[in-house]
Amino acid sequence: MNILLLGYGKMGKLIGELGEQRGHQIAAKISIDNTQDLDSLDPKSIDVAIDFSQPESAISNIKWGLERGIPVISGTTGWLDRWDEIVTSVEENDGTFFYASNFSIGVNVLFKVNQYLAKLMNEVSDYSVTVEEIHHTAKLDAPSGTAITIAEGIIENMGNLDSWILKGDTPALENQLPIISKRIDPAPGTHIISYQSKVDDLVLSHTAHSREGFVKGAILVAEWITDKKGVLSMNDFLSF
């Protein structure tokens, strides 16, 4: 399989290394410094594009692939305010697009457990809930896309919450779920869901020891997606 890497930072480099170890070829490595090289690529020679770029580059990267009939996988976060734009592009081009805020199998199990726990806690009074995420200082967006997915899973299942807020100088309202974001090196990613009351705390968490889990997940999706169509997610891949 020929893989186009859109974004060649730490994640892009690791995806390239693992992809080659699994017998795949890297068609090109595109970063902010050589975006002009996209114009010289033959789309027919590319089986899938994997985007781990920056929020300001993700939209153009994804559209570039979709408009050329290339399945696109994206793990870039921070651009979802333009989600509908990408869905429209998928429909117009009869394309294939896969998005995940996190490709780790463990994290995606956490998403499901988080939703179930929120349903249970919705029936219990006297608990307040907080989401905390810790990442390395090179991560530009806050909160993380994974933390937002966790927060959305809680909000969907708890009747007293309708939005989340990044915790800062402005205190959260009763209907808002606070997210705490910390940037500490060399943390690859920790997410903590805390339900707190006067008598006890209930804590659910996931800690990544390295980026290997994210990278392996992205490669496995790339191997799976080539005969699929439409907008897809980890729920489709894992059959949750």
pLDDT, tens only, 32-56? 899 999 989 999 999 999 999 999 9
Check which CATH number belongs to the domain holding 141 and give it: 3.30.360.10
Check which CATH number belongs to the domain holding 71 and give it: 3.40.50.720
pLDDT at 213: 87
- Domain of residue 182 covers 105-207
| Known active-site residue 139 | yes
Q: In sequence order, what are the residues at sequence separation of 6 or more whose Cβ sits closer than 8 angstroms to the Cβ of residue 205? A: 190, 191, 192, 193
pLDDT at 240: 63
Q: Confidence band (pLDDT; 50, 70, 90) for 140?
A: confident
- Residues 29, 139, 216, 228: which is the catalytic one? 139
CB 100 within 8 A of CB 52: no
What's the chain's average pLDDT?
94
- Residues 135, 167, 191, 206: which is the catalytic one? 135
Per-residue pLDDT tens over the stretch 144-192: 989 999 999 999 999 999 999 999 878 889 999 999 999 999 888 899 9
Same structural domain, 137 and 231: no
Same structural domain, 191 and 136: yes
Same structural domain, 9 and 26: yes
Same structural domain, 189 and 232: no
Same structural domain, 137 and 186: yes
Same structural domain, 177 and 191: yes
Same structural domain, 124 and 54: no
| Terminal-residue alpha carbon distance, the chain | 26
Q: Distances from the Cα of 180 to the Cαs of 55, 105, 106, 183, 213, in angstroms?
A: 21, 23, 21, 10, 23
pLDDT at 28: 96
Continuous H helices in 122-171: 145-155
Total number of domains in the chain: 2
